[in-house]
Structure 1
Amino acid sequence: MTTDSGVPLPGGNSNAPVRYGDRVHRTAGPWTPTVHAYLAHLRSHGADAVPEPFGFDEQGREVLEFLPGAVPAYPLPDLVWSEAFLEDAARLLRRVHDASAGFPRAGGMWQQPAREPDEVVAVNDFAPYNLVVRNGRIAGVIDLDQASPGPRVRDLAHLAYRLAPLTAPGNVDGRTSGPRERGRRLRLLADAYGDVAPAAVLVAAVPLLDEIADHAEAAGRPDHAALYRADAARLAGDAEEVLRAAG
């Protein structure tokens, strides 16, 4: 299916992404100029795995570089559960965070609120469904329009939630495993990112899940809210066992 010679891309939620050759056109928002400046900053500071921004088209849509490859979709493929994918994701997140630390905050408009401590520009949705895979390895990250200043550990908690994973058994988006395995993978993630304790990631995860549940509830998705609350309750209940396994 094509639209105006463009090819609609899967995902994107409300952004309606359409590919035209090597570029993607998506619905923009008032935060888009700030996000484009952020992407350009990342690329100029060593994190070139993000799309290059190209401004706006005649319809007012944002224009971004198309990153070739496959983006994992649910149900997540086995590749996503490999240790190599987990460690690649953590290392890429570290590069993005480090490159963002010097991005000027004054005058910027963000889709999500800024949070304290303001250490980096947090991606706020660094997850498998936003990672581009080529030849079995992570080659890029897309959909950074949720970014806003905040702490490193919040992004790490989200990534651990998706990849350890820290989901309850009833959540089909995760993978059922015991505290020992989740703790082991949490340690792998923390070590690959560097300079962070698994305990700090785990402590940040429960309030993050509660916040996501509140957002889902407000958006009229009570089923999603219930899943996140169940994940948060399960994690709070066995956090000590997970941490013991993480060492």
Structure 2
Amino acid sequence: MEGVPLEGGNSNAPVRFGDRVHRVAGPWTPTVHAYLRHLRSHGVDLVPEPFGFDEQGREVLAFLPGAVPAYPLPEPVWSDAFLAQAAAVLRRLHDASVGFAPDDAVWQQPVREPVEVIAVNDFAPHNLVLDRDAITGVIDLDQAAPGPRVRDLAHLAYRLVPLTAPGNEDGRPTPIQERGRRLRLLAGAYGDVEPGAIAGAVGPLLDDLAEHAAARGLPDHAALYVGDAVHHRAALDAVLHGVG
């Protein structure tokens, strides 16, 4: 069977063969597969089922049918209902991951304190599979690693509140008061977290993303993250207090 290359996937070079996807693996892949099996055994069937490795050493995962949003994001992804749904899905992933701590774990991302859950570390629209406006899958979990809940919430808020700078076309022009309202909506939909904690984690997250992009030789991406971080820190108090 001839494989069909899939868009996205960055350096993973995903290729679809029927109902399976073959992707470039790393030292962390066995741990991620164990994590996926753990999630699925705890009722989270939104993540792909892993099937080990092919003869070329690539990981093999179940193909999740549906549409993955591309940037600029389509209008339905900006709805309040979608934001609340995404927060609820993230809460399911986090809660199901509690207690997963294999002794021989190898992670692509560093373990970050406080360790509360297995953080996805890239929970964003570009890794969600949709059936119209319903989230039916979560893909590309190979950056997952133990860490705090709020880091994933910060990433989701950055992309979907949004907390981007005006020059970043991946976001959309959003008044300060609306950003504050949507940040509170996200926090409420996830539960047990203050909007200020999420907003406070965005700056450090963007610093990490900028550093990672620069290390990968992506200066334009790094510059966008730096600009977003500067803008976010300047507007943080206004967003939290709904002024402007």
- TM-score class, shorter: over 0.9
Query: Which letter maps to 2:150?
Result: V
Q: Which amino acid aligns with 2:195?
A: P
1:181-211 Cα deviation digits (max 9, x unpaired):
1111101111110100000001111011111
Confirm whether residue 166 of structure 1 aligns to residue 163 of structure 2: yes
Between the two proteins, the alignment pairs up a number of residues equal to 243
Q: 1:223 to 1:135 in 2, by over 3 A?
A: closer
**Match among 21, 24, 27 for residue 24 of structure 2:** 27
% identical aligned pairs: 71
Equivalent position SS for 1:94: helix
Structure 2 residue 193 is the aligned partner of structure 1 residue 196: yes
- Mapping of residues 63-102 of structure 1, within 5 Å: 63-102=60-99
| 1:107 aligns with one of 92, 104, 107 | 104
Q: Distance in 1 between matches of 2:89 and 2:58?
A: 27
Unpaired segments ≥5 residues, structure 1: none
**Letter in structure 1 aligned against 2:83:** L
RMSD of the alignment, in Å? 1.1
Deviation, structure 1 residue 224: 1.4
| Alignment deviations for residues 72-126 of structure 1 (CA, whole Å, 9 cap, x no partner) | 0112111111111111110000000000011124220001111000100000000
Offset at residue 176 of structure 1 (A): 1.1
1:126 to 123, 126, 141: 123
Aligned to 1:221: 218
* 8 Å Cα contact 2:114/2:148 also seen in 1: yes
- Alpha-carbon distance, 1:231 to partner: 0.7
The 4+ residue runs of structure 1 with deviation greater than 4 A are none
Residue 52 (1) aligns with residue 34 (2): no
SS for the counterpart of 2:154 is helix
- Give the distance between the partners of 1:135 and 1:166, measured in 2 at CA: 25
Query: For structure 2, which runs of at least 5 residues remain unmatched after alignment?
Result: none
SS in 2 for 1:138: strand
How far did residue 147 of structure 1 move? Answer: 0.4
Check if 1:138 corresponds to 2:132: no
Counterpart CA distance in 2 for 1:245 and 1:35 is: 40
TM-score normalized by the length of structure 1? 0.96
**1:166–1:235 CA contact under 8 A, matched in 2:** yes
Letter in structure 2 aligned against 1:173: D
The corresponding residue for 1:175 is 172
* Contact 1:46 1:95 (8 Å CA) reproduced: no
Give the aligned partner of residue 212 of structure 1: 209
For 2:25 and 2:210, locate their aligned partners in 1 and report how far apart those are by CA, in whole Å. 25
Identify which of 144, 154, 163 aligns with 1:157. 154
Distance 1:27 1:18 in 2: 9
Q: Using a 3 Å threshold, how does the CA distance of structure 1 residues 25 and 58 change in structure 2: closer, same or farther?
A: same
- CA deviation vs aligned residue, 1:206-230 (integer Å, no higher than 9, x gap): 0111111111122222221111111
How far, CA to CA, are the matches of 2:102 and 2:227 in structure 1? Answer: 36
SS in 2 for 1:30: coil
